[in-house]
A and B are shown apart, each in its own frame.
Chain A
Amino acid sequence: MKNLIRLGTATLLMGSCLWAASVDESRGSLVRVRASIQPYDQFRPWQKKAPFGLNGTGVVLPGGKVLATAALVENRTEVGLERPGSAEKCAAEVEAIDYEANLALLRPTDTKFLQGFAGVKMGPALRAGDTAQVWQLDKNGEMLRNQAEVLSAGVGRYPADEAGFLLYGVRVSLPKRDDSYTLPMMRDGMLVGMMMGYDRDSQEGTVIPVPMIEHFLKDALDGKYEGFPTLGVSWTSLRDPNLREEFRAPKSGGILLTRVNARGTAGRAGLKEGDVLLSVDGFVLDEDGNYQDSLYGPTSVGNLIRTRPIVGSPAKFHLSRDGKEMDLTGTYDRRARDEIAIPTLQFDVAPRYVVIGGLVFQELTGAYLQEWGDKWSERAPQRLVQLFSFQQEMNLDPAKKIVFLSQVLPSSITMGYLQLSGLVLSKLNGQEIDGLKSLAELADGAEEGNLVFEFTDNPRRIVLDAAEVKAMGDKIGKDYGLPALRRL
């Protein structure tokens, strides 16, 4: 799901196309960002994994805030800023973070820390063929400027699952440095992008372009971060003349909507599956879903609907339905992304769980499945994979969370259940379960009698004695060293 290409670690290598600049110049624009990272352990939801550190380069913005990538500070326990070429340090707080766009805005806790920094201004958007420089800080604070060429500018994949935004592909030869997790791309002293991935073999990297950064900053600086809007549709190209005929599309242009999320921007505006979307906000779409961008030329509709508008701005659609053209209007939002039963994008959220007499229940998230590794869709319990992957077409109720038995801690009362895992809980004592909270309440409320757990799959039903669960109390937690028996 997430596949960040880490930039290299500390080895001093002098490349061909770099030179050192003065300490003073970098002092005005860049800081080191040192993050202590400690991800949650989804398989042992009561604890975190081994901590490690990540170092990156942050860009100081006018106004005393620092721009970095979200990946640099994701799962942080703390973030510190450091002046290049000196040991001056300051803790920082994350003011806004967008995991989809892979951007984060940091604020030093000491307002004086960035005094004397002029801050970097936003530069122009680039197109393929343009050149720029990727800046790197050396150990002693000297700056290396590496010549980069933009190879492509278009909608591409971001590290977060299913995220596609405007992206530059660049070619640059980068020497290995330890501050390289995030690097700014500059032109004429202005910021033109944030490099977020680099492949040392092909010497190609991916860069978050300025239009994305500006969108993020505009959203972040108004105090309430809302994120990038989404339409909530799946679509396919309409190049195939037979398909055009089948859906009575006009002579040229337009894309076919193959699924429309009723909660999303498009769904609430009235768009339906089978509609031929001809234009968005006045931009005409061709058969492959490209509009003519004034800067980038033919560009995917993804940029049109995700980067250009902000949440709350009006959306205008021109479409053809059963051969009749019509206009629909709506409002851009993120509901198709956020109102979802099993969250795909959930970072920095402690996994929720309840332990009942040794049965460990968790709420299903993309983060849990991701814990199964690159081949999660083959390795994770198939029922959980199915619910997660097909939740749109299964029309899962966003208000109802999926609770599953993730493992069984052996105890005197869980004998015979030890091999159970990956089972979706449907009921406890006949009551539907719509989240961990309701499960915990129901379990707490039962003083005696049976706790009958019903699952959607084999073995369907298991039973614990409520009085025995109560009597066991914290013992199971003590035996296994769990800091708490639940996190709701």
Chain B
Amino acid sequence: MITSSGFPKFGRVSGGKEDRQKIGLVWVLFMVKDDWMTFRIKLFTLAVMGLGLAGCGRDEQLREARRNVVMVEVTSQTWDYRLPWNPGTVSSARGAGFVIEGKRILTNAHVISGARNITVQREADPRKYPGKVLYVAHDCDLALLEVEDPEFFKGTTVLPIGDIPELESVVSVYGFPIGGDRLSVTRGVVSRIDYNSYTHSGRESHLAIQIDAAINPGNSGGPVMQDDKVVGVAFQGFRGDVAQNVGYMIPTPVIRRFLKDVEDGHYDHYVDIAIRWMTLENHAMRKYLKRPDDGLGVVVTDIFSEGSSDGVLKNGDVLLSIDGHPIESDGSVRLEGQPVQMEEIVERKFAGDTVLLEVWRQEKLEKLSLRLRPAEMFSMYESLYEEAPRYVLYGGLVFQPLTANLMAVLMGSSDLRLRQIYSMFGQDQLYQETPEPVVLTSILPDPLNVYLRGLAGQVVREINGRKIRTLADVLPALEAGKERTVILFQGDQRPAVLKNRDVDNATPRLMAQYGIAEVSRTELGNRRLAKGSLQKADSK
């Protein structure tokens, strides 16, 4: 069940699944994010928060943990974006979880993503119970499970959720890492409290706490405890040859936000202010903007259309305060007496909430309010887990929307144009024209397409005179072709021309030969793309 090989450089911590995440991918996704969301990357120290907790004996903590920490065994299926019609490869993995109030089990999203079968097991009970996913939040790598059989909860209590532990304070990590099958405990101290990338989603950064306790494959989803409270969920670490004694846990503000979000019966995405800003540390720049040298304020440099700030903020605005918290010229605010990145104010809010901003605009002070929403236009950068890969097959030509998952398999073989579109998609707001670039990813060899094989990897611009803005445009455009179909690509590529009659003849042959049941899968499901208004937003 457990494979210890292939533990990624910076990967999630559950047995078995790690080889899914390629080392290169992790690094590339960092880069992409760096391009369009620099504000997320800025490192910051959120100093000590939280209070000393009322003491409780170590014996008691252990007793509580033994009651409530569960082993989560998952058989999951991973889609193959190279062969999007296939159901994918099956693998098994083991992680941990723990019982929280409401007879629910909290674990990591990556432990149960793509799950086809979940069993949970407590230390005191040899039986394995079937588990079910109640909610999953891939953006903050958390999930809630339920177990229908009430037997399972006999003898469990509830692990209460605590606060952010102090730096250098001692914490214990519970889980089922490699090395044995019984509950394991490791201890360490809180080394750092900081924003960090959540590799499961590939796109997100949230508050994360670094600890020096050993965290190994199989620890994922297990509680990190201090005294009698949970202070985090173990979720990712570095591969042993990269860094030692560096493990990460999801801190309780993120856990609380998740639990609150699902109270209404479904999980919404994190919201995003969707701007880029620059520090205001240069005195000539301050003078130019007519700001006194008071060490306050940052300059807005980009506003992403369709985002929360679209139509409210303007380039060149100086943000002075957020929800009443003065913004320092380095972009930090004081929260409960401690400096944190100003986005933390937004991080703790939900879709539809508002945030109040004081803005210096054209030498006047203005008070603005933003209604927060998720940054759906960047969803391309998010790794997908549950959704089946979408595609359209036509005469052996495989069309797929550009996604992080697709890019992960194309990396290395992808050409410069495709990589450029991917990395510039957010930064240049390419989603305004093309909410979802469509790629001719591969060509299944057939006599029909023998002259087209060099075109694999090209980005589709037009089919039969119709602009292709999302995958949904492909089928109608193909149907619009009378007698023949002309596909144009971006750049100076030759077009692909196919006779419709030839394609009709080839389709049954291709499907039989390559074992394909459906010629297309285009339903978007719950995912939302950018609306892609062709109108340029106020970004100049």
Contact = CB atoms under 8 A, between A and B. Distances in A.
Contacts of B535: none
Nearest to A273: B492
Interface in B484-527: 484, 486, 491-495, 497-499
Of all A-B residue pairs in the complex, the 7 with the closest CB atoms, nearest first, are: A416-B281, A240-B451, A416-B282, A259-B492, A459-B278, A242-B497, A463-B288
Most chain A C-beta atoms within 10 Å of own C-beta, residue among B284, B285, B416: B284
Contacts of B282: 413-417, 462-463
B497 A246 contact: yes
B370 interface: no
SS class of chain B's interface: helix, strand, loop or mixed? mixed
A457 B285 CA distance: 17
A234 B316 CA distance: 43
Contacts of B494: 236, 243, 256, 258
B283 A415 contact: yes
Q: How large is the interface on B (under 10, 10 to 19, 20 to 34, 35 or more residues)?
A: 35 or more
B307 to A, nearest CB: 15
A259 B490 CA distance: 12
A327 interface: no
A465 B287 contact: yes
B21 interface: no
A468 interface: yes
Contacts of B49: none
A406 B486 CA distance: 43
Contact of A389 (B287, B416, B484, B499): B416
A465 B424 contact: no
Interface string A440-482: 0000000000101000011111111100100000000000000
A222 interface: no
Contacts of B278: 416, 458-459
Contact of A450 (B288, B419, B420, B498): B288
Nearest to B36: A458
A411 to B, nearest CB: 11
Interface in B412-469: 416-417, 419-420, 423-424, 427, 451-452
A461 to B, nearest CB: 7
A400 B451 CA distance: 40
Contact of A386 (B299, B420, B492): B420
Q: How large is the interface on A (under 10, 10 to 19, 20 to 34, 35 or more residues)?
A: 35 or more
A245 interface: yes
A145 B80 CA distance: 56
B425 to A, nearest CB: 11
Most chain A C-beta atoms within 10 Å of own C-beta, residue among B316, B420, B427, B492: B492
Given A243-B494, A416-B279, A465-B284, A385 B424 contact: no
B285 A463 contact: yes
Contacts of A377: 416, 419
B491 A393 contact: yes
Interface in B267-320: 276, 278-285, 287-288, 299, 301-302, 315-316
Interface of A: 234, 236-237, 239-243, 245-246, 256, 258-259, 273, 377-378, 382, 385-386, 389-390, 392-393, 413-417, 450, 452, 457-465, 468
B284 A468 contact: yes
A393 B451 contact: no
B35 A240 contact: no
Contact of A457 (B427, B484, B495, B498): B427
Interface of B: 35, 38, 276, 278-285, 287-288, 299, 301-302, 315-316, 329, 416-417, 419-420, 423-424, 427, 451-452, 484, 486, 491-495, 497-499
A378 B284 contact: no
Contacts of A385: 416, 420
Given A382-B423, A393-B491, A458-B278, A242 B302 contact: no
Contact of A243 (B299, B316, B420, B451): B451
Contacts of B420: 382, 385-386, 389-390
B315 A460 contact: yes
A448 to B, nearest CB: 12
B424 A386 contact: yes
Contacts of A468: 284
A195 to B, nearest CB: 32
Contacts of A393: 491-492
28 contacts: A236-B493, A237-B451, A240-B451, A243-B495, A245-B497, A246-B497, A259-B492, A273-B492, A377-B419, A382-B35, A385-B416, A385-B420, A390-B420, A393-B491, A393-B492, A415-B281, A415-B283, A416-B281, A416-B282, A457-B427, A460-B302, A460-B315, A461-B301, A463-B282, A463-B284, A463-B285, A463-B288, A465-B287
Nearest to B35: A382
A108 to B, nearest CB: 45
Given A242-B498, A458-B301, A258 B424 contact: no
Contacts, number: 94
B244 to A, nearest CB: 28
A241 B450 CA distance: 11
A390 B420 CA distance: 10
Contacts of A239: 451
Contact of B424 (A382, A417, A462): A382
Nearest to B497: A242
A464 B284 contact: yes
Nearest to B279: A416
A148 to B, nearest CB: 34
B284 A459 contact: no
B284 A258 contact: no
Given A386-B424, A416-B285, A463-B285, 20 more contacts: A240-B451, A241-B451, A242-B497, A243-B497, A246-B486, A246-B495, A256-B494, A259-B492, A273-B492, A413-B282, A415-B282, A416-B282, A450-B288, A457-B427, A458-B278, A459-B278, A462-B285, A463-B284, A463-B288, A464-B284
Nearest to A378: B419
Contacts of B497: 240, 242-243, 245-246
Nearest to A386: B420
Nearest to B287: A465
B245 to A, nearest CB: 29
A240 B452 CA distance: 8
B484 A242 contact: yes
A433 B446 CA distance: 53
Most chain B C-beta atoms within 10 Å of own C-beta, residue among A413, A450, A458: A458
Nearest to B315: A460
A459 B288 CA distance: 15
Contacts of B281: 415-416
B453 to A, nearest CB: 11
Contacts of B499: 242
A452 B495 CA distance: 45
Contact of A458 (B276, B417, B419): B276
A25 to B, nearest CB: 50
A239 B284 CA distance: 63
A342 B35 CA distance: 23
Nearest to A413: B284
Contacts of A241: 451
Nearest to B285: A463
Nearest to A462: B285
Contacts of B452: 240
B59 to A, nearest CB: 50
Nearest to A240: B451
A243 B497 CA distance: 6
A234 B280 contact: no
A352 to B, nearest CB: 26
A425 to B, nearest CB: 15
Most chain A C-beta atoms within 10 Å of own C-beta, residue among B276, B280, B329, B497: B497
Contacts of B288: 450, 452, 463
Contacts of A461: 301, 316
B500 to A, nearest CB: 11
B493 A258 contact: yes
Most chain B C-beta atoms within 10 Å of own C-beta, residue among A242, A243, A246, A385: A242
A105 to B, nearest CB: 36
A385 B420 CA distance: 9
Contacts of B35: 382
